[in-house]
Structure formats: C-alpha cells, structure tokens
Structure 1
Amino acid sequence: MPKELYQNICDKVRFSKLYEKYAQGLSDLLYYKYGAHLNTSDKVQDAFIKMWENCQKVLPETAKSYLYTVANNMMLNEVKHQKVVLNYTKVKPKDYTNETPEFLMRKEQFLECYEKVLSSLKPEQREAFVLSKIEGKTHKEIAEMIGVTKKVVEHRIYAAFATLTEKLEDFKLK
C-alpha cells in the first residue's frame, strides 16, 4: 500500500477534489433515504463545512465515511426536529379561561369606571399619573419632562390616587 502524501485534508485542492467526488453521491443517498422535504443539499453542504472545520482530524482515507456519517446524523436530527414541530402543531391553543362570566363583566365595568374617573382628573394630575403608573417613569423623569419640581409631581400623583380611591370602591394601591 503506497504511503499517503497528506496526513489530513486541509489542502484546498485536495478538499475540492473530495467535494467533486462525493457531494453528488451523498446528496443522492440522502434524497433516497429521507426524501425531498428535508432539503438534502443543505445537509451535504453542512457536512462538508463540518469536515473543513475538522480537517486536521480527518484522514483522507476516512473522509468518505466521515462525510456520510455527519450528513446522516444531521438528517436524523432534522427528522427529530420535524417530529417536534409536528407534535407542537397538534397542540391546540387554550381557548378558555378560568374566569367566570361575572368576573369578566365586573372587570369590564371597573375598566369603564376607571377610564371615566381618569378622564375627570385635572389634566396635570392625569398627565403625571399616566406617566408614572402606565409608562413607568420616575418622579424625577416626569418633573424634567413637564418642567416642574419633583415635589409638584408627587403631589399631582397622590392627588390623582386620592380621587381614584374615593370614586372607585375596588381601587387598590400597588
């Protein structure tokens, strides 16, 4: 048996010859085994990329075996992934809630009252309250935005809270 000149396949010319020699056959084999729906040519490309990344470890005489094993494993992983996707599509989304119709009705009524009371606040109170509680701004940020002191902003927010708790019986501070 003649001694190999190369110990690995990192030479570009040698690698391209391996590609020309094995790519079509590997693609045909994967197509035959797994069909067209799993895009076998991508897996062949990925197998060659993986072989190039590990070219120091792959001997020329084991290159074909390496390619076929890597490509087959990639296809098996893709099949497993497709099974997971299929099982996930079979699961129907939850189209019900544990909330009673009475709760849903009270929630709607509360939101209507809340919006009505919020709109009845003084504009400066409403602005400070909305910026603080809905948009999550700090008192200091709000003061800088509207051009007043931090104490004025706090007073407006607390005044809005007082009005909301007075006019909404179910309103709770958080």
Structure 2
Amino acid sequence: MQELPKKYGNGDRKGESRTCVSFIKHLSELSTEKTPRYRMTEKEYNKCVDLYADNLFRFIVKNLGHTEDARDVVQNAFEILWKHCQEVSFEKGKSYLFTVGYHNMIDHVRKVKRITLVDNFKEDSSIADTNVHNAREVMEKALARLSEVQRSLILLKDYEGYSYEEIGMIMELNPSQVKVYLHRARLHLKDYFVKIQNVI
C-alpha cells in the first residue's frame, strides 16, 4: 500500500490511546459481521480520506475548540484505520473512524489540560454583542455550553445524520439513552436561544 496521505501525516502509529485500543478488536468483529469480504483496499482507504476526513475534523474541532489538537486526533484516527484496514470493511469505515476519533478525543481531553472544557466555561458578558447576531457564532456559543456528551450527541445526530443505534455504538450508549440525552441537550439549546432572543 502507498504511504498514508500527507494531509494526515505518516506517524509511527504508536499514538493509539488506551481507550481507542480497547475498541479496535470489538470494531473489527463488527466489521466482519454479515460481511463476507471485509478487507479494505488501498483505493477504498483513500476514498475514506476523501469522504470522511473533513466531517470527522469538523466534529472533533467543534468539541475540542482547538484546531491543532483536532488535527492530531483526526490524524491518529486515520493512522489507526490504516493499520487495521484489512480488518475493516469500506462500508464500516465511517462509523469506525468516528468511533475511534471520539474515544481518542476523550483521551486527548483528559491529557491536555489547555483544552477548554465546558466545566471551565466562563459566562460571556458580551452576549448582546453585535457578533451574537451571526447565526454560526450563536450556534457555536450554544454548543460550548453543553456537556461533552451532549455536544457530541447533537453533532453526530443533527450535523452528521447518524441513527440512534450508530450513535450508541460510537458513544457506548444504548438507543434509549441516546434519545434521552439528546432530548435534554436540545432543551438546553432551546433555553439558550430563548435567552438570546430576550436579550436582543
């Protein structure tokens, strides 16, 4: 196979986090389930890069709030897929990448203290600032106020279009939990938008 695309580096593959490693065997078993031919070809791997790299980066950076850290997480996810591409089918490529990326992100958050977590979020005194009228900025401010789990649920369901079952696999939740937590997350967003409207 050719080298890993330069866009996501060509690391030594020693960066697999403990959380990620614990999922690899499980994911590999899932990838072979009801799938006779499961080896991902070089062409399919490169197609995964083209199809899912930007989506995965967008998901990770919205959670971390730090571009370089997000790039590291995405790079690591693709390196893990590259290393295990003969155990993962192309059809399972997206869910595999998002699962590994999500759990790698969790480990990254625990290790890198400079990442701004929701628990340390400071009230924005300039909420009535003219910038708040920008829809994108309003949404980013709203997402920043959610917990890590709630934010991930919103991004996976409403931005990426995953099913409850797929989200459950990625985040280790059952479908019922996904629905309940997602409902609570949406209520938090709704409350925030109501407050914004009242201020404006």
Task: Place the TM-score, normalised by the shorter chain, in its bin.
Answer: 0.3 to 0.5
TM-score by length of structure 1 reads 0.42
TM-score by length of structure 2 reads 0.37
Q: Highest CA radius of gyration, 1 or 2?
A: 1
Larger RCO: Structure 1 or Structure 2 (Cα < 8 Å, ≥ 6 residues apart)? 2
